[in-house]
Amino acid sequence: MNKHTKRIFKAKDLCRRKFPYLSALVFSMPCRPSEQCETLAVDQCGRCYFNPEFLDTLTTEQLAYALLHECFHLALSHHRRRGVWCPEPTEQDLLIWNIAADLCIQQALSRDAGAWEPAGILNWAQYRHIPGMSHGLTTEGYADVLRHNLDEPEPPPFGGSCADGVPRDGEREGNPMSLDAKLAQVAEAIEQQESTSPGSTPGILRRAIDKRLGRQPDPFEILKSLVARSVASPIGTDDYTYRRMSRRQPANCARMRGVVRLAPECAVIVDTSGSMSPYIHRAATAVAQGMRRVHRPRVICFDTDAQSDRRLSSLSQFSWDGGGGTRMDQAIEYADTLKADCIVCITDGETSWPRTKTRARLVVAMVEDNVRSYPPPEWARIVKCWEGSEYAG
Ligand SMILES: [Zn+2]
């Protein structure tokens, strides 16, 4: 590993710690030296080029900032959006687009990495006085404001075809589409982080990725995060007991109590009544998602009675047992006696509901819109999983 590779790896590691959701993008970005590049640049395929001499002038933090800056160009799809904003740009348009893009990125990075910013990156004060300028505009918004008010834009320090879609000298050829898989990983990581700490990722990033990938909201994603949230805080906490030796037990001292960790328990009820038969696939998907989150969940197939009740460690063990009527009230009461922390009930909702609140948190995944005709209890979390539903998280 040469000196520059080492430094870049160190900087990427720093990025990973501050922006874990960008890891997929940061670490898959190959960096190669290029004399034609004056500072740092990224092309549309996500390859980074750096000028070795320029790299030596940066600290690790500044280098991390520069790499993050380039990742944001990719994640925000600036190269594609420039084509829509101005299909036949002049030199001036390109410069303005670059500045607008960098203004957005600077704001997105300011909270978590603002302190790493190398000098010479855009100076907000330089543009603040322009009429129509404000924080929080989109790249297109900034570009429109600047186009009418800036006569001699200065080129921003970092560039590359990923900022505006125009290939630079020395960039290799490649397929810009190859980015989508990485962005999908970033989107998933963002979602995971948002489920535990909402508002910790830049909104412009989430929206841009969703738009690029054309992602339709998947109700099972909500279900997944609800399950994760429910089991992340199991009812009851760590317990102390003399039956276990404490990890901090000193020799020749009175016995200290050890900790018993309560592993979260999740019971998944699958409504296997006759009316559910068109949704077998959806239900199995939800079970699979639950299994990814919870260690060996208990999966109960229930129509009017428990048809099967077993702990599953893989989806191949899941079988559709049932075919009769629907009594989810009994199913939920039955599952609640199992002392689970969370009950997920996958049903079409054509059922009666338990009258008393369950001890466990109840998540109802409804695959058919029966909320009005069979209103579920208020204390349950409802996930609307039917086709075209405007579900609420
Ligand atoms: Zn830039």
Ligand 1 centre and the CA of 102: distance in Å?
5
pLDDT recorded at residue 295: 72
Å from CA of 24 to ligand 1 middle:
20
The predicted pLDDT at position 217 comes to 42
DSSP state, residue 337: T
Task: Quote the pLDDT of residue 234.
Answer: 54
pLDDT at 242 over 80: yes
In the predicted model, is pLDDT for residue 226 greater than 70? no
**Each residue's pLDDT tens digit, 305-351:** 889 898 888 888 888 888 888 899 999 999 999 888 788 888 888 88
Tokens representing 337 are: 């006696």
Gap from CA of 199 to ligand 1 centroid (Å): 24
Reported as a pLDDT band with limits 50, 70 and 90, residue 300 is: very high
DSSP string, 135-196: TT--HHHHHHHHHHH-SSPPPPS-B-HHHHS-PPTTPPP--GGGGHHHHHHHHHHHHHHHHH
Which secondary structure element, helix H or strand E, spans residue 310, and what is its range? strand 306-311
Q: What percent of the chain has pLDDT over 90?
A: 16
| 10 C-alpha to ligand 1 centroid (Å) | 21
Looking at 181-190, 253-262, 278-287, 374-383, which range is the least confident one? 278-287
Per-residue pLDDT at 387: 61
Residue 364 · residue 385 · CB < 8 Å: no
Task: Scan for tokens 């369950």, then name that residue.
Answer: 358
* pLDDT value of residue 385: 72
Compute, in angstroms, the gap from residue 62 CA to the centroid of ligand 1. Answer: 14
CA distance 292 to 139: 37
Residue 353 Cα to ligand 1 midpoint, Å, equals: 56
Question: pLDDT tens, 26-73?
Answer: 998 889 898 888 888 888 888 899 999 999 999 999 999 999 999 999
Beta strands 31-33; 48-50: pairing state: parallel
- What mean pLDDT is predicted for residues 116-121? 83
What is the Å distance from ligand 1's center to 73 Cα?
7
- Cβ-based burial of 198 (10 A; exposed 0-12, middle 13-18, buried ≥19): exposed
User: What distance in Å separates the CA atoms of residue 34 and residue 52, rounded to the nearest whole number?
Assistant: 8
Does pTM surpass 0.85?
no
Q: How many angstroms is it from 6 CA to the middle of ligand 1?
A: 23
342 neighbors 266 (Cβ within 8 angstroms): yes
Q: How confident is the model at residue 281 (pLDDT cuts 50, 70, 90)?
A: confident
Domain boundaries defined on the chain: 3-213, 263-384
* DSSP type of residue 120: T
C-alpha 162 – ligand 1 centre gap (Å): 9
Cα(101) to centroid(ligand 1), Å:
6
**Ligand 1 centre from 157 Cα, in Å?**
7
CATH superfamily for 263-384 is: von Willebrand factor, type A domain (3.40.50.410)
